């Protein structure tokens, strides 16, 4: 992937950080997008130490202007944009009766609206990259979830965002294939990250009870799936990957 440029949202931790490392290891220059600059800086230093290229792009992508600027900065400072990984997301579990409307808004704002703003800003650059790169292809990879296929109590709005993301991905895939921009979705099962740390004590305990006894995936397992998708030759389009822990039903 030498010469390619990737932008990863939610790159400061978890699946996003692992994906950034993976793509940098493949030779891509990576724009690291998230809010926590200190985490991003440490990751960028680590990538650079391993002879990779990374740029810190501090942004709260739920702010439309910052989402747009994150894409523009990547294009201007790294020269192009070949791969967009829409990874940033939040899962706030709870029943309709006990969840606040602010929690529902937070999920829609990050998992849906922010993703749309970043994608909309990125599409022209991805089309340009596909037309001009030696690989003749560009990629969008959306990180959904098994919650995009299976609905559960306490997960209604998280389900809404991830079921919706799957539909958005499929429509966009059909729109952009003539432009040689592949659009894929990866649906992880349980992955050991900070995702559950955003929950209150009761919801966290309930979530842990649901997945108790399962050895979770590591973030690097999902980074592997994303790395596989974007390193395929142009003739191969991996539309969807569902990756669960071996023990998860
Ligand atoms: P983490 O909570 O570990 O990481 C979330 C990332 O998103 C962080 O880097 C965070 O960085 C970033 N982020 C949060 N809010 C914003 C914002 N407003 N603007 C920019 N970046 C933001 O979660 P995971 O790595 O687990 O989750 C990544 C994706 O994987 C999500 O879409 C999630 O739904 C999905 N997923 C996760 C599963 C799991 O079991 N962990 C299972 C299935 C899907 P910062 O706080 O610095 O902004």
- pLDDT tens by residue, 149-195: 999 999 999 999 999 999 999 999 999 999 999 999 999 999 999 88
**Neighbouring C-beta atoms of residue 95, cutoff 10 Å:** 11
Better-predicted residue by pLDDT, 198 or 107: 107
Is 59 among the domain residues? yes
Strands ordered across the beta sheet of 29-34: 53-58, 29-34, 5-9, 83-86, 138-143, 181-188, 240-243
Task: Check whether 210 has a pLDDT greater than 80.
Answer: no
Is 22 among the domain residues? yes
The chain-wide mean pLDDT, for the chain, equals 96
Is 183 among the domain residues? yes
Confidence of residue 215 (pLDDT cuts 50, 70, 90): very high
CATH number at 213 reads 3.40.50.720
> What integer pLDDT is reported at residue 149 of this predicted model?
97
Name the residue among 72, 80, 39, 69 with its Cα closest to residue 56: 39
Angle at 155 between CA 239 and CA 89, to 5 degrees: 55
Task: Check whether 240 has a pLDDT greater than 90.
Answer: yes
All residues at 6 or more sequence positions from 192 whose CB lies less than 8 Å from its CB, including other chains? 216, 217, 218, 219
pLDDT, tens only, 12-66: 999 999 999 999 999 999 999 999 999 999 999 999 999 999 999 999 999 999 9
pLDDT, tens only, 13-27: 999 999 999 999 999
Measured distance CA(203)–CA(207) in Å, rounded:
6
Write down the H helix ranges in 61-218: 64-78, 101-107, 115-132, 156-176, 201-211
Q: Indicate the number of domains in the chain.
A: 1
Long-range Cβ pairs for the range 172-180 (8 Å, 24+): 172/119, 172/140, 173/237, 173/239, 176/123, 176/126, 176/127, 176/140, 177/237, 179/126, 179/127, 179/130, 179/131, 180/130, 180/131, 180/136, 180/137, 180/138, 180/234
Task: Check whether 212 has a pLDDT greater than 80.
Answer: no
Percent of the chain topping pLDDT 90: 90
Q: Whose CA is nearest to atom 39 of ligand 1?
A: 191
Confidence of residue 207 (pLDDT cuts 50, 70, 90): confident
187 Cβ below 6 A of ligand 1? no
Q: Whose CA is nearest to atom 8 of ligand 1?
A: 10
Name the residue among 121, 140, 4, 115 with its Cα closest to residue 71: 121
Evaluate whether 158 touches 203 at the Cβ level (below 8 Å).
no
28 Cβ below 6 A of ligand 1? no
178 CA from centroid of ligand 1 (Å): 31
Tell me, yes or no, if the pTM score tops 0.95.
yes
* Residue in the block written with tokens 């440490």: 42
What SS3 class is residue 85? strand
62 Cβ below 6 A of ligand 1? yes
Name the residue among 207, 167, 223 with its Cα closest to residue 20: 223
**Catalytic residue set:** 158
Is 40 among the domain residues? yes
> What integer pLDDT is reported at residue 202 of this predicted model?
78
202 CA from centroid of ligand 1 (Å): 20
Is 80 among the domain residues? yes
Is 248 among the domain residues? no
Its domain, for residue 118, covers 5-243
> What integer pLDDT is reported at residue 213 of this predicted model?
81
Task: Check whether 107 has a pLDDT greater than 80.
Answer: yes
145 CA from centroid of ligand 1 (Å): 12
> What integer pLDDT is reported at residue 203 of this predicted model?
79
Is 36 among the domain residues? yes
221 Cβ below 6 A of ligand 1? no
Better-predicted residue by pLDDT, 196 or 156: 156
Confidence of residue 206 (pLDDT cuts 50, 70, 90): confident
Is 47 among the domain residues? yes
């Amino acid at each position: 992937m030498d010469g390619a440029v990737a932008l990863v949202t939610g790159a400061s931790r978890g699946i996003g950080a692992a994906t950034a490392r993976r793509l940098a290891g493949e030779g891509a220059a990576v724009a690291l997008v998230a809010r926590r600059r200190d985490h991003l800086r440490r990751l960028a230093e680590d990538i650079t130490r391993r002879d990779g290229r990374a740029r810190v792009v501090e942004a709260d992508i739920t702010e439309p202007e910052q989402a747009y600027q994150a894409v523009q900065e990547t294009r201007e400072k790294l020269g192009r944009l070949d791969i967009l990984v829409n990874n940033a997301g939040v899962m706030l579990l709870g029943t309709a009766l006990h969840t606040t409307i602010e929690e529902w808004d937070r999920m829609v704002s990050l998992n849906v609206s922010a993703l749309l703003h970043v994608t909309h800003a990125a599409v022209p650059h991805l089309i340009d990259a596909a037309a001009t790169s030696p690989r003749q292809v560009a990629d969008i990879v959306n990180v959904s979830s098994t919650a995009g296929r299976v609905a559960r109590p306490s997960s209604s709005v998280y389900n809404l965002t991830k079921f919706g993301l799957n539909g958005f991905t499929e429509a966009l895939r059909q729109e952009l294939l003539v432009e040689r921009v592949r659009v894929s979705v990866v649906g992880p099962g349980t992955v050991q990250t900070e995702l559950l740390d955003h929950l209150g004590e009761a919801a966290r305990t309930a979530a842990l009870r649901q997945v108790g006894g399962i050895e979770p995936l590591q973030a690097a397992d999902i980074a592997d799936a994303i790395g596989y998708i974007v390193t395929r030759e142009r003739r191969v389009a991996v539309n969807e990957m569902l990756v669960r822990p071996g023990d998860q039903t």
